[in-house]
């Protein structure tokens, strides 16, 4: 059973919503929305490198927070609530110099006031590069 409360959402819609944002600037592409996960890719190039020529740790965090935040908000009735980042922890396990990385976000906890998401980031040969945990705070929309 799908966890999403936002009907009819597709990777293409998520991509359009990301126009003129950091997501678009660094080249994050939404790939797949599964029943309980969200997947996106990010290039490893001049936009995401650190000075040593490897993927910047902050770029890992941008991909992780993007996936977890989007996933969290898709689990809410967006006419009544929205979720914002509260805390993120990111462990960098392996470096990469070029290519693309793939992030997969899955929920650990979907509560009425908080959500916790795990985001794993892999290289093209499915080696784990990074694992992040994102805590989201659920807010009510005031009218």
Q: Which of these is catalytic: 12, 24, 32, 65?
A: 65
- Phi-psi region for residue 27, left (φ > 0), alpha (ψ -120 to 50) or beta? left
**Angle 101-106-107 from CA coordinates, rounded to 5°:** 150
* Residue 118 designated active-site: no
CA distances from 94 to 51, 54, 69, 114, 128 (A): 17, 10, 24, 30, 7
Q: Which residues are catalytic?
A: 65
């Amino acid at each position: 059973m799908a966890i999403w409360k936002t009907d009819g959402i597709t990777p293409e819609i998520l991509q359009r919503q990301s126009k003129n944002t950091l997501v678009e600037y660094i080249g994050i592409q939404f790939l797949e929305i599964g029943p309980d996960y969200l997947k996106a890719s990010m290039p490893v190039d001049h936009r995401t490198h650190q000075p040593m020529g490897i993927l910047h740790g902050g770029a890992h965090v941008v991909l992780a927070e993007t996936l977890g935040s989007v996933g969290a908000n898709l689990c809410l009735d967006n006419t009544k609530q929205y979720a914002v980042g509260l805390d993120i922890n990111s462990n960098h396990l392996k470096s990469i110099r070029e290519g693309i990385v793939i992030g997969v976000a899955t929920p650990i906890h979907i509560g009425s006031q908080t959500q916790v998401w795990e985001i794993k980031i892999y290289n093209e040969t499915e080696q784990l590069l990074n694992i992040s945990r994102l805590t989201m705070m659920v807010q009510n929309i005031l009218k």
